């Protein structure tokens, strides 16, 4: 189905990955007319019988229909045993997130598409159909003790505080813990290979860790548990966030900076990389290896030789070609950035 709607620059929403042509909100809302059929395919799962299968439904479109309306229609008319979680229907409780056509969406918030496949969130155990077990996420959040601990005694309402100081924390406070980002995160998808807490728990932590009223020592304890430098800044989390939180730029990056400051050893790799780029104007893998692993490189000598043979590291470049035009430019840029922070 094509839409006559032609997007212009002004109605493109400036969010990464979501503002592609013919994918504006107005276009998405006008793809279907009342009476059209929405072809819905839902992944059903029954843990007791360990069986999963897609089931097809044909749902009549209603004006401005959301994914949740389609699920409600199915549960009222076709599959009364469909298990799916929701409470508020207005983007506040954050419990109705699902994957629609491979993308994490809040069912109550997202417009239906003419053909849609609905699946449960990834990276969490599925209980039945679209209902996932939130426990792993909840446990992670609780372990970070996301509350403030004051160094000074609270005086009286209102206490001195400005929005400028709360700017990043305020963004994190928009989080409804729907776990869209948790499902979209490729690092969480690696399972136990890393100790990365994941975007949603980091946003939850950011609410208090980026709050100037919090005790830095308390923040330090929490950050130590996050594995935050496993974040690869792929922006998948930001792309799917229904609350439009700039998760990487306003939460994870400031938290990384805080970690580098409070627990520099956690940021060893990141700080070394930055120093190398500042000095050389490029990434230098062998210098990075030497700085991060130090003498341990010699313990892992066979690996280093393999990298050398395959041309992944270049010792001549590392030891001879240090100063270039690029290195001067990079140094200037990074120093300027550091100065403005």
Binding to another protein (CB under 8 A): which residues in 75-94?
Answer: 75-76, 79-84, 86-94
Q: How far apart (Å, rounded) are the C-alpha atoms in residues 273 and 283?
A: 7
Number of residues in the chain: 341
> Least CB distance from residue 201 to another protein, whole Å?
13
How many residues of this chain bind another protein (CB under 8 A)?
A: 71
Scanning 45-53, 221-229, 264-272, 279-287 for contacts with another protein by CB under 8 A, the matching segment is 45-53
Backbone angles phi, psi at 45, to 5 degrees: -145, 135
Query: Hey, what are 105's tokens?
Result: 């969406």
**Of positions 19, 27, 278, 297, contacts another protein by CB under 8 A:** 27
**Of positions 164, 310, 336, 341, contacts another protein by CB under 8 A:** 164
Specify the residue, 161 or 308, whose C-beta has the smaller distance to another protein.
Answer: 161
The answer to whether residues 237 and 181 touch, using CB atoms and an 8 Å cutoff, is: yes
Specify the residue, 128 or 282, whose C-beta has the smaller distance to another protein.
Answer: 128
Tell me if 128 contacts another protein by CB under 8 A.
yes
**Of positions 105, 108, 180, 203, contacts another protein by CB under 8 A:** 108
**Of positions 37, 39, 64, 233, contacts another protein by CB under 8 A:** 64
Per DSSP, the chain holds a count of helices (H) and strands (E) of 15, 7
> Least CB distance from residue 239 to another protein, whole Å?
17
**Of positions 176, 179, 197, 304, contacts another protein by CB under 8 A:** 176
**Of positions 16, 25, 322, 333, contacts another protein by CB under 8 A:** 25
Site string for another protein, 190-209 (x = CB under 8 A): -----------------xx-
Scanning 66-74, 179-187, 277-285, 311-319 for contacts with another protein by CB under 8 A, the matching segment is 66-74
Query: Hey, what are 164's tokens?
Result: 């400028």
> Least CB distance from residue 296 to another protein, whole Å?
40
Specify the residue, 177 or 286, whose C-beta has the smaller distance to another protein.
Answer: 177
Q: State the Cα angle at 189 between 186 and 190, rounded to 5°.
A: 100
Beta bridge partners of 100: 103, 118
Tell me if 29 contacts another protein by CB under 8 A.
yes
Q: Which of residues 248-277 bind another protein (CB under 8 A)?
A: none
> Least CB distance from residue 124 to another protein, whole Å?
13
Q: How far apart (Å, rounded) are the C-alpha atoms in residues 275 and 63?
A: 55
Q: How far apart (Å, rounded) are the C-alpha atoms in residues 13 and 31?
A: 18
Q: State the Cα angle at 289 between 285 and 294, rounded to 5°.
A: 155
Closest CA to 130 of 154, 158, 95: 95
Neighbours of 293 (CB within 10 A): 17
The answer to whether residues 220 and 159 touch, using CB atoms and an 8 Å cutoff, is: no
Specify the residue, 208 or 318, whose C-beta has the smaller distance to another protein.
Answer: 208
Backbone angles phi, psi at 116, to 5 degrees: -140, 140
């Amino acid at each position: 189905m094509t839409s006559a709607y032609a997007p212009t620059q002004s109605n493109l929403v400036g969010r990464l990955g979501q503002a592609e042509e013919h994918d504006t909100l107005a276009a998405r809302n006008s793809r279907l007319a009342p009476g059209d059929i929405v072809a819905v395919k839902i992944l059903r799962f029954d843990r007791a019988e360990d069986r999963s299968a897609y089931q097809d439904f044909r749902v009549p479109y209603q004006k401005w229909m959301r994914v949740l309306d389609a699920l409600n229609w199915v549960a009222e008319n076709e599959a009364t045993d469909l298990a799916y979680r929701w409470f508020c229907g207005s983007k506040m409780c954050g419990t109705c997130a699902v994957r629609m056509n491979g993308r994490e969406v809040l069912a109550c918030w997202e417009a239906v598409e003419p053909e849609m496949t609905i699946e449960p969130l990834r990276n969490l155990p599925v209980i039945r159909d679209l209902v996932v077990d939130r426990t792993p996420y909840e446990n992670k959040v609780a372990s970070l003790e996301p509350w403030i601990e004051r160094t000074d005694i609270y005086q009286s309402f209102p206490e001195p505080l400005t929005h400028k100081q709360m700017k990043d924390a305020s963004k994190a406070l928009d989080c409804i813990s729907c776990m869209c980002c948790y499902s979209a995160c490729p690092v969480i998808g690696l399972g136990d290979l890393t100790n990365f807490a994941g975007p949603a728990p980091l946003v939850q932590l950011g609410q208090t860790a980026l709050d100037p009223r919090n005790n830095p020592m308390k923040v330090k304890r929490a950050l130590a548990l996050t594995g935050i430098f496993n974040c690869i800044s792929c922006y998948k989390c930001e792309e799917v966030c229904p609350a439009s939180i700039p998760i990487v730029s306003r939460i994870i990056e400031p938290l990384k900076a805080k970690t580098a400051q409070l627990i520099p050893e956690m940021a060893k790799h990141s700080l070394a990389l930055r120093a190398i780029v500042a000095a050389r104007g490029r990434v230098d893998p062998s210098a990075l290896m030497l700085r991060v692993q130090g003498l341990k490189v010699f313990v892992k000598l066979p690996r280093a030789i393999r990298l050398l043979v395959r041309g992944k590291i270049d010792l001549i470049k590392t030891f001879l070609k240090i100063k270039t035009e690029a290195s001067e430019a990079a140094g200037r840029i990074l120093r300027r950035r550091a100065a403005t922070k």
